[in-house]
Amino acid sequence: MDLRDSPEEAAFRAELRAWLAEQVPRHREDASPGAWTKALHAAGYTGLTWPAAYGGRGLAPTYQGIYAEESALAEAPDHVNVIGLGMVGPTIVSHGTPEQQQRFLEPILSGEYVFCQGFSEPDAGSDLAAVRTRAVATADGWLVSGEKVWSSYAHQADWCLLLARTQPGSTRHAGLTCLLVDMRSPGVQVLPLRQTTGDSDFNQIVLTDVPVPRDCVLGPVGEGWRIAMTTLAHERGTFGITLTARLAVEFDRLLRTVHDLGLADDPGVRAEVADLHVQLQGLRWTGQRTMAALASTGKPGPESSILKLHWSVTNQRLAAFALRLLGPAAVLDGPGSRAAGHWQHLRLRSRANSIEGGTSEILRGIIAERVLGLPRTR
């Protein structure tokens, strides 16, 4: 056990931090999709944990953790290819054919191919096995029809990792297949979903007889559930560390707001600030324990299931507290309001934290069944 960076990790962190300090302000203005991925790639910060044979650097997960933490702390641009690098790429490494690995991995690393994910549907949210999007076999592949929702970056994506039902009449986990769908295929329509904040971070994808060639099936036909679970397991890897570091950024912003409002001596404010800090520290160090388990066993330990759950609770608590600090001025919004409406926005946005990426109810169910060994709750 050693809770300090090793000399190699410290050097990596220092170099990355310096690079981010220089590059992040430069890229904040440049919103073109893939620009940040390309900059990261040129500097050698993509595919840190990918095997060298696939163009990665073959580093331990600890380095991915440092990258996730420092990027979030530096408020680096949200990474348009985060799904490709973090989830789809590793799935292709595990389950792709040599031809698919040849075709997709290098463009994912370089930012040439931006990926989105097509899993959730209007009637398949928490219950993902209820997927209804169907793929009908043709002479040279599949024709896909259906509707996917809550797909991040779909409007900017070149490719989609899609979960579809390939076996007619099948139900639940059987008969599903993962497909690599070219987003420029005929029959693909992307529509933005507008959230309570007014922003559109997610999309709906409508597929109408979209042709998918046979060589774009990822993994065996009918094994889509297992492949999709691999993809989602990769999401859990270092995402908790990213979320915690983003929360740390919000916490610093909260401290500035407390000072700006002249509330730093208010006993109630001091108690809540200290308490939020304790929650943040719990998340941070539990994230490091998760990382250690990932490094030694190759998969996140049971601690990892709590990170997203407790992050959402804490982020919501912080957002609610920050907005209350503004007093009656909290009713104002827009650029002229306190902190340019940041806390108003976060208050609204944070309510989705306990929904996106696994609802808190689903996560508690996972903990109860898989960690605590309780009987199934449904």
Partner 1 sequence: MDFALTDEQRDLQAAAARLLADRYPADRVAGMADAAAGDPDAWPLLRRQGWCDPDLGMVEMGLLAQEGGYALAATPWWSTVGLAHPVHRAAGLAVPPGPLTLAWQDDPAGGGCRAVRHRDGWRLTGVRALVTDATAAAALLVAADTDAGVALFAVPSPADGLTVEPQPTLDRLRGAARLRFADTPGELLVAPDAAGRALADARRHGSTLLACEAVGVARRALDLACRHAGDRVQFGRPIGAYQAVAHRLADSYVALELATSLALRACWLLGAAGNAADTTGSAANGPEVERAYAEAVVTGRRAAVRACEDALQVTGGLGATWEYPLHWWYRRALWLDCFDTPTTTHLATLADHLLAARPGPS
In the complex, what is the shortest distance from the CB of residue 351 to partner 1, in angstroms, rounded to a whole number?
A: 19
CB closer to partner 1, 169 vs 375: 375
- The partner residues of 115 in beta bridges, in order of sequence, read 159
* Angle of CA points 8, 14, 15, to nearest 5°: 90
DSSP state of 352: G
Is 326 near partner 1 (CB under 8 A)? no
Burial class of residue 300, CB neighbours in 10 A (0-12, 13-18, 19+): buried
Count, residues near partner 1 per rule CB under 8 A: 57
Q: Quick one: which of 96, 303, 344, 347 contacts partner 1 (CB under 8 A)?
A: 303
Is 318 near partner 1 (CB under 8 A)? no
Residue 235 catalytic? Answer: yes
CA separation for the pair 287, 241 (Å, rounded): 6
Is 85 near partner 1 (CB under 8 A)? no
Which residues between 164 and 183 bind partner 1 (CB under 8 A)?
none
CB closer to partner 1, 85 vs 292: 292
Q: Which of 33, 194, 227 minimizes the C-alpha distance to 117?
A: 227
In the complex, what is the shortest distance from the CB of residue 346 to partner 1, in angstroms, rounded to a whole number?
A: 14
In the complex, what is the shortest distance from the CB of residue 128 to partner 1, in angstroms, rounded to a whole number?
A: 19
Read out DSSP for 65-88? HHHHHHHHHTTPPP-TTHHIIIII
Is 365 near partner 1 (CB under 8 A)? yes
CA separation for the pair 323, 248 (Å, rounded): 17
Q: Quick one: which of 275, 324, 327, 329 contacts partner 1 (CB under 8 A)?
A: 275
- Of 112, 235, 356, 369, which one is the catalytic site residue? 235
Q: Which residues 6+ apart lie within 8 Å of 6 measured at CB?
A: none
Which residues between 240 and 269 bind partner 1 (CB under 8 A)?
249, 252-253, 255-256, 258-260, 264
Is 29 near partner 1 (CB under 8 A)? no
In the complex, what is the shortest distance from the CB of residue 367 to partner 1, in angstroms, rounded to a whole number?
A: 4
CB < 8 Å & 24+ apart, contacts of 128-134? 128/163, 128/228, 129/172, 129/173, 129/176, 129/225, 130/172, 131/163, 131/164, 131/165, 131/176, 132/165, 133/162, 133/163, 133/164, 133/165, 133/207, 134/164, 134/165, 134/166, 134/168
In the complex, what is the shortest distance from the CB of residue 316 to partner 1, in angstroms, rounded to a whole number?
A: 14
* Angle of CA points 276, 350, 72, to nearest 5°: 70
CB closer to partner 1, 60 vs 143: 60
CA separation for the pair 156, 20 (Å, rounded): 24
Q: Quick one: which of 23, 49, 62, 238 contacts partner 1 (CB under 8 A)?
A: 62
Is 65 near partner 1 (CB under 8 A)? yes
In the complex, what is the shortest distance from the CB of residue 5 to partner 1, in angstroms, rounded to a whole number?
A: 6
How far CA 135 is from CA of 83, 178, 212, in Å, comes to 23, 10, 9
Q: Quick one: which of 15, 140, 209, 361 contacts partner 1 (CB under 8 A)?
A: 361
Q: Quick one: which of 310, 312, 316, 318 contacts partner 1 (CB under 8 A)?
A: 310
Q: Quick one: which of 110, 151, 279, 350 contacts partner 1 (CB under 8 A)?
A: 279
Q: Quick one: which of 162, 273, 318, 322 contacts partner 1 (CB under 8 A)?
A: 273
CA separation for the pair 224, 91 (Å, rounded): 12
From first CA to last CA, the distance across the chain in angstroms is 40
Radius of gyration of the chain (CA): 21
Catalytic residue ranges: 235
Binding stretches for partner 1 (CB under 8 A): 1-6, 9, 62, 65, 75, 249, 252-253, 255-256, 258-260, 264, 270-271, 273-275, 277-279, 281-283, 285-286, 288-289, 291-293, 295-296, 303, 306, 309-310, 361, 363-365, 367-369, 371-377
